[in-house]
Chains A and B, each alone.
Chain A
Amino acid sequence: SQQGEEDPQALSIQEGENATMNCSYKTSINNLQWYRQNSGRGLVHLILIRSNEREKHSGRLRVTLDTSKKSSSLLITASRAADTASYFCATAFSWANQGGKLIFGQGTELSVKP
């Protein structure tokens, strides 16, 4: 399998519910980032968590990172119809190693029904 795999591939929930997306990766990283992409649009950075952090919050977003399991989760609480988008995790390596390039996962397509 490849660096940055996510599950589920698609998630459909009702407005107000929480959405949880998971990401797994294979090699050591410097940090892991989550991006959102609305259909046919660009990528919007949501949150970054460093390898020495375990949890991070930003508004309705909560990200966890378990480096021993090489996995991360993104929780969106109290979801809204406007959260409907694809969500990607992306891993970044040390600058000494690979100059900051991002390796993206396959993404989770989230649909929030009003």
Chain B
Amino acid sequence: EPEVTQTPSHQVTQMGQEVILRCVPISNHLYFYWYRQILGQKVEFLVSFYNNEISEKSEIFDDQFSVERPDGSNFTLKIRSTKLEDSAMYFCASLYRGSSYEQYFGPGTRLTVT
């Protein structure tokens, strides 16, 4: 069964450094999302992406964040200058919009900012 993959599974970085989290969505999916989950808290929407542009972003998704689909398969989330509070699990999800709203989630990347 096709699945969403994410790399790396765990990333440790120092405050102020740039990180890029990578996702490979399911190949025929058209909509892509990033969510994050701070330890012990709920999953929060960050951004949605369709047709090579951002469809919607949350208040969390400020100028430090950017997303890109550099080729036909990868979907990346970049954090330009990481802060301690960016430490969280980041999930990528994809959706093939037929009649289904079911999003397929990747296993997540745990980002630790020290």
A interface, CB within 8 angstroms of B: 4, 30-31, 33, 35, 40-45, 48, 88, 90, 92, 95, 98-107
Count of chain A to chain B residue pairs whose CB atoms are closer than 8 Å in the complex: 64
Contacts of B33 in A (CB 8 A): 100-102
Q: What are some 8 contacts across the A-B interface (CB < 8 A)?
A: A33-B102, A43-B91, A45-B105, A88-B42, A100-B95, A101-B56, A102-B33, A104-B35
B interface, CB within 8 angstroms of A: 31, 33, 35, 41-45, 48, 50, 55-56, 89, 91, 93, 95, 97, 100-108, 110
A40 to B70, CA, bound (A): 29
**Residue among B31, B43, B44, B102 making CB contact with A48, cutoff 8 Å:** B102
Contacts of B50 in A (CB 8 A): 99
Contacts of B105 in A (CB 8 A): 35, 42-45
A99 to B32, CA, bound (A): 10
Find out whether the CB atom of B55 lies under 8 angstroms from the CB atom of A33.
no
Assess A100 versus B108: contact at CB under 8 Å? Given A30-B101, A33-B101.
Answer: no
